[in-house]
Structure 1
Amino acid sequence: MPVNQRIWTLEDGYKELNTIRLNFEYDLENLIETRPEVIDDNLMLIGRQVITSNQGRIDLLGINLEGSLIIIELKRDKTPRDVIAQTLDYASWIVDLSSDDISKLYQKYKGNDPNASLSKDYKTKFNKELEEEAINSSHQLIIVASEMDSSTERITNYLNRYSIPVNILFFSIFEFEGKRLLSRTWFIDPQETIENTTPPSEKAPWNEEFYCSFGHDDNRSWNDAVKYGFVSAGFGQWYTKTLKMLSIGDRIWVNIPHTGYVGVGTVSTECLIAKNQKFELFENKTIFELNTEGKYLADFKDDVEKSEYIVLVKWEKTVSLEQAVSEIGMFGNQNTICRPTSQKWLFSMKILKSRWNIQ
């Protein structure tokens, strides 16, 4: 159904706000470049008007925390068929870009500044290392428009049905008391298109076991996790919200980025903010009262947004960092928790269960 955004005030007789015609050439492209969070809080732009091999130009190119490349194409005055076909053409070009190619695109975007570094700026933005194997492992295609017709709706639904992650983002500007208000609406829930980033040929039924990415660094320690029985994440909802996917009794397989798989266990508590998660086997103390190697964002323990969040785990098998299992082709993901539906996950399970003698 074509989207038509309208807004009313709740006072003054439910007055409808006036809409202002968007200048796609200037207003939105500049706005998105200046404030990429209007698309997604976890978006970092790496190119604008990127010239492709067939002399096309990608309006905006970004990368998200998972390493996915995000093509953002403004509809302007193009027909639905033209803009979707053009976006797909751009995706067919970026799919073959290497991590080195992408780093060069970013340097060009930064005016060939010799100090520009994709990996360094990515870590500054996301407080996380950019894993080379994650770069360009998947794509998301976003078409920015102010309205949609039935043809665009039909094509977009069809592509998503067959796992082509295309979405449409609608912006409208309204005028209220001399101020301009920006409204944003997604055609499809962004999470649904993210789930479509795995090609059909690589998909497999979920085996009802969870993947966990554990960040072993100055803030948290795998030795602590083994000793006290937990996994954790913090410093923002992107890192912590997926921990809440876990339920008591779920089995998780823990991978440390750049190191390998180090453990498997069963969830024994719900996810709680660190200051409220009590370790029953250790005198009901919190993580901040235990003798730990990690700091667990102690400075933010009262900050609901940035605090560490903890799930207690009963370990079935753990190994040291030196014994971590890492093989070419094994599954990896930057989400703290995910439900993998890929052949790589089944391949990883086969290796780990055999190596650790787990049924």
Structure 2
Amino acid sequence: MPLEFGLWRVDDKPVRVATRPMPLESRLEELIEADPGILGHPLLLIGRQVLTQYGKVVDLLGMDAEGSLHVLELKRDRTPREVVAQVLDYGSWVQELTNEQIRDIYTSYARGRGLAEELDEAFALRFGGTPPEALNSTHALTIVASEIDAATERIVTYLASGFQVPVNVLFFRYFEDEGRSYLARTWLMDEAEAVVPSAGAKGRGKQEPWNGTDWYVSFGDEPSGRNWEDALRYGFVSAGGGEWFSRTIRSLPLGARVFTHIPKVGYVGVGTVSGEPQPFEDAALSLDGDSRRMTDLSLTGTYRRAGDGTDRDGEDPREWIVPVTWERAVQRKEALWRTGFFANQNSACKLRARFTIEEVSRHFGIDQGFPDA
């Protein structure tokens, strides 16, 4: 059974505030859209009155910080059988949404509402970070009602507890007191009991497609270590300090296009990998057609090499150098950063974030690397 709410006004003595029928249950949709926090957990709304491929219309569609989708369906005046069947039908639709379809739904929703038109920007503004690469790895179904009947409670509890269906009911109590209106909410099942399915055949993640070429590189420009001025002048990216840092930079293949980012600064260059990864003491770079060993170059930064010892965990701390031919690169002070841009702690990884690729490419005046639609 869900918790039952009571509300008391306490001035001289406790006076219970009367519960009233909600004038228009459909107004709940407007209230949730105005402040999704009413639901009790952070949510980014990405669609309202969303048309499915089956000709049905989802009241509200949201996304949480993990990239999972949330279907919110108002009970209105439908029977328990109708509303539960409807929300299950929406579940069969939402689980098949691709990354691109999700982004299109949000863009359509944002237009005309004065919202950021890119999902990455909206996600960053709501949650303070970039979306996960895999969106819609799981989903949740919520029936929203101003009251709950025994049949709906029985059916939903049976599906959730007996068959692990991610469905729950959120219902509100409506109060009026001296000309003011109040809402109180509760869930049929608390979140600890509610089912969140693991990713699998029916909950598979939808990643943005990778174009097979673009990689993200994090260049840790440090006062006492590697220096971006060196990388800009001589053409390379690098990482070191242990296996975790150097392993991914060593995975960069010849011909990869690297979008280079200085943490907490922004994107400073795009170029093409032109040589194999090598430890600093063995690395050679092509300068004006000649091959020059890095150890012979005039460098601003310092780079750990063989003989500098091991770190406290016994790992090899050497700096690994990857030669890069810059297509466009700028000084640190000219770095580009926008809310919603992709950033990652790995030294290198495949870059799928289309918003980042398009905006950085546009800013630097280079090809975006995506096939024409």
TM-score (norm 1): 0.54
In the alignment, what sits opposite 2:172? 171
Secondary structure of 1:170's partner? strand
In the alignment, what sits opposite 1:79? 79
1:6-42: CA deviation from partner (whole Å, max 9, x where unpaired): 3233455432212232144542111100101111441
Aligned positions, number: 228
Partners of 2:85 and 2:202 lie apart in 1 by 24
Could you tell me how far 1:92 is from its partner in structure 2?
A: 0.3
Partners of 1:49 and 1:79 lie apart in 2 by 20
Partners of 1:321 and 1:69 lie apart in 2 by 41
Partners of 2:130 and 2:318 lie apart in 1 by 21
Secondary structure of 1:101's partner? helix
Partners of 2:318 and 2:23 lie apart in 1 by 57
Could you tell me how far 1:192 is from its partner in structure 2?
A: 3.0
Structure 2: where are the runs of 5+ without partners? Answer: 204-216, 223-243, 250-261, 265-311, 321-344, 351-373
In the alignment, what sits opposite 2:137? 137
| 1:4–1:147 Cα contact (<8 Å) kept | no
| 2:46–2:63 Cα contact (<8 Å) kept | yes
| 2:2–2:186 Cα contact (<8 Å) kept | no
Please state which structure has a larger fraction of its residues in helix.
1
| 2:48–2:109 Cα contact (<8 Å) kept | yes
In the alignment, what sits opposite 2:110? 110
Structure 1: where are the runs of 5+ without partners? Answer: 204-215, 224-254, 261-292, 296-313, 329-359
1:210-238: CA deviation from partner (whole Å, max 9, x where unpaired): xxxxxx999xx9x9xxxxxxxxxxxxxxx
1:261-276 superposed matches below 5 A: none
Secondary structure of 1:171's partner? strand
Partners of 1:321 and 1:55 lie apart in 2 by 57
**Measured at CA, do residues 79 and 320 of structure 1 come closer, stay the same or move farther in structure 2, by a change above 3 Å?**
farther
In the alignment, what sits opposite 2:98? 98
Secondary structure of 2:91's partner? helix
Secondary structure of 1:9's partner? strand
Query: Which amino acid letter does the alignment assign opposite residue 36 of structure 2?
Result: P
1:93-242 superposed matches below 5 A: 93-111=93-111, 116-133=117-134, 135-161=135-161, 162-193=163-194, 195-198=195-198
Partners of 1:316 and 1:42 lie apart in 2 by 42
Query: Which amino acid letter does the alignment assign opposite residue 177 of structure 1?
Result: E
Partners of 1:138 and 1:62 lie apart in 2 by 12
Could you tell me how far 1:123 is from its partner in structure 2?
A: 1.2
| 2:72–2:142 Cα contact (<8 Å) kept | yes
| 1:32–1:39 Cα contact (<8 Å) kept | yes
- Percentage of identical aligned residues: 38
| 2:2–2:188 Cα contact (<8 Å) kept | no
**Measured at CA, do residues 325 and 217 of structure 1 come closer, stay the same or move farther in structure 2, by a change above 3 Å?**
closer
**Measured at CA, do residues 131 and 21 of structure 1 come closer, stay the same or move farther in structure 2, by a change above 3 Å?**
same
Could you tell me how far 1:115 is from its partner in structure 2?
A: 6.2
Could you tell me how far 1:294 is from its partner in structure 2?
A: 9.0
1:337-359: CA deviation from partner (whole Å, max 9, x where unpaired): xxxxxxxxxxxxxxxxxxxxxxx
1:269-348 superposed matches below 5 A: none
In the alignment, what sits opposite 1:15? 15
Query: Which amino acid letter does the alignment assign opposite residue 9 of structure 2?
Result: T
1:32 maps onto 2:32 in alignment: yes
Partners of 2:143 and 2:189 lie apart in 1 by 12
| 1:174–1:180 Cα contact (<8 Å) kept | yes
| 1:73–1:144 Cα contact (<8 Å) kept | yes
| 1:160–1:196 Cα contact (<8 Å) kept | no
Secondary structure of 2:151's partner? helix
In the alignment, what sits opposite 2:47? 47
| 1:163–1:198 Cα contact (<8 Å) kept | no
**Measured at CA, do residues 26 and 177 of structure 1 come closer, stay the same or move farther in structure 2, by a change above 3 Å?**
same
Partners of 1:114 and 1:7 lie apart in 2 by 36
Could you tell me how far 1:198 is from its partner in structure 2?
A: 1.7
| 2:170–2:186 Cα contact (<8 Å) kept | yes
Partners of 2:166 and 2:319 lie apart in 1 by 36
Partners of 1:6 and 1:72 lie apart in 2 by 25
Could you tell me how far 1:173 is from its partner in structure 2?
A: 1.7
Could you tell me how far 1:157 is from its partner in structure 2?
A: 1.4
Secondary structure of 2:171's partner? strand
In the alignment, what sits opposite 2:230? none
Could you tell me how far 1:316 is from its partner in structure 2?
A: 10
Partners of 1:125 and 1:199 lie apart in 2 by 24
| 1:51–1:58 Cα contact (<8 Å) kept | yes
**Measured at CA, do residues 67 and 182 of structure 1 come closer, stay the same or move farther in structure 2, by a change above 3 Å?**
same
**Measured at CA, do residues 6 and 40 of structure 1 come closer, stay the same or move farther in structure 2, by a change above 3 Å?**
closer
Secondary structure of 2:121's partner? helix
1:129-171: CA deviation from partner (whole Å, max 9, x where unpaired): 11221x1110011111122222212211112122211111111
Could you tell me how far 1:181 is from its partner in structure 2?
A: 1.6
